[in-house]
Amino acid sequence: MTETTPSIEAFIAALPKVELHLHLVGAASPSTVLELARRHPGGPVPSGEEELRAFYAFRDFPHFAEIYESVNSLVREPEDIVTLVTGTARDLAAQNVRYAELTVTAHSHQRMGMSKAAITEALDVAARASVADHGVRVGYVFDIPGEYGAEAARTTLDHALSAPPEALVGFGLAGIEQERPKYRDAFRDAFRAATAAGLHSVPHGGEMTGPETIWEAIEGLGAERVGHGISCVRDARLMAHLKETQIPLEVCPTSNVRTGQVPAIASHPLPRLLEEGLFVTLNSDDPPMFATTLNAEYGVAAHVFGLGEAELAALARNAVRASFLDERAKREIIGEIDQVCAAPGR
């Protein structure tokens, strides 16, 4: 690894990027959340900016999940979904993000009273607007909120298969990992049906539990990428498997610290994952809730872990290659990354 330079921030800002691990509700900027709170007053989410920042001080992961659900309760109408997606695209465009795969918990929106058709139409409208207005291409991942069990698996799968948005590319599983074993068969069945229909398998695993959750994501759910995956460092056999198969990990350093999965950023396993030759991508997860951005995550990799421009560019290329973009689009973005790296003075 190389030392950072004063120009590293400029390099990060100029670097074309892809974001693979980004939850739609968690990506809502404070201004977007406040806009939704004004539309739907009387809920648990504060209506002032300072109060909202304090609201996002998480004690642990269950508390984070509780706050996330409170923000989700503001998403009640199709217009709210459009606001979320296009607001996220605006924020990503400012960071030179070319493409993002947004995780959508459609089950939660249905619980707020929206129909499958209304949710899908809003996602379609928003994806088109994101490209037209901000130049950011969007893919969607429908994820099962794991703690809601078999019913959430059925609802999510039904929506994905019977009324999918045009940009739906993946099928995921998130939420409280400790709840998964009791619903294992239901989750496996849902993933089997989703992948048979052509969707990519991208479950979370090894964020708040041990390597066994990552093994289940790979062997039970057919994971093509793993969300987080950081507890793999506890299992030498799993590390060897991930190195051999090059299954990408969607690593989100600041998120892991803010939800209490890692005690401090300096102790995050990112450097070891890279040293061991695993396929790593950098992501922001729920950036405004964690007071971060995708650019800031690249900054952490540079300033905390000492990655230089070549290593940062390699991470950016990894995200492109691990995405579900078509090959032509991948080549175009990688070409843009290469141009930035080859610029005079680099």
Give every strand in the sheet of 226-228, ordered side by side: 204-205, 226-228, 249-251, 280-282
How big, in percent rounded to 5, are the helix, strand and coil portions of the chain?
Answer: 60, 15, 30
φ, ψ (nearest 5 deg) of residue 234:
-85, -5
Dihedral sign from CA coordinates of 14, 16, 21, 25: positive
**3-class secondary structure, 18:** strand
Nearest to 174 by CA among 233, 252, 244: 252
Q: How far apart are CA 96 and CA 136, in angstroms?
A: 9
Report residue 247 as tokens: 């299954």
Catalytic residue among 19, 101, 207, 336: 207
Q: How far apart are CA 215 and CA 330, in angstroms?
A: 29
Q: Give the number of other CB atoms < 10 A from CB of residue 212.
A: 17
List Cβ neighbours of 80 (8 Å cut-off, separation of 6 or more): 36, 39, 74
Nearest to 218 by CA among 193, 261, 194, 249: 249
147 catalytic residue (yes or no) = no
Nearest-10 crossing angle of helices 30-39, 78-93? 160
- By the 8 A CB rule, do 220 and 188 touch? yes
The residue assigned the tokens 């990990």 is 249
**3-class secondary structure, 281:** strand
Nearest to 213 by CA among 236, 243, 179, 189: 179
Q: Which residues are catalytic?
A: 207
